[in-house]
Amino acid sequence: MVREEELRQERQALRLLCSNLIRATTRVELCNLLDSSLFQDPLHRVAFEEIRAAGAVPPKRLREELPGRITNRGFPDFELLEFLGKDLASAGEIEQLFMSVLRLIQERHESDGSEVEN
């Protein structure tokens, strides 16, 4: 059950990073606070690395380019809509998605011995 929760949290974090509800610069800042080693699932790790590598591109462009980038990294059957869910994140979900990212950031800081400032 813990593994399922970790995977759900990873996917929620990725949904936020691909969301059109956050600015591209916010996405870059969040990516800088995370580390790819926090993503246990290989597909999630690759997706995060490609999102981070894309930089401050508009969300629409990110979602257009991400499938090709992930396919080139060894996941030929990658489908973005299937991966993120049929619906993009709604304004009502955004707080929950941010909480997933914050939990991953907290894990990173706990694993490297530093504290997260409130």
For residue 45, the tally of other CB atoms under 10 A from its CB is 17
* Burial track 80-104 (b if 16+ CB lie within 10 A, e otherwise): beebbeeeebeeebeeebbebbebb
Q: pLDDT digits over 48-71, tens only?
A: 999 999 999 999 999 999 999 999
Specify the pTM: 0.83
Task: List, for residues 28-43, the tens digit of each pLDDT value.
Answer: 999 999 999 999 999 9
Give the residue among 38, 10, 12, 15 at the shortest CA–CA distance from 108.
38
Higher pLDDT, 12 or 110: 12
32 membership: H or E segment, kind and range:
helix 24-33
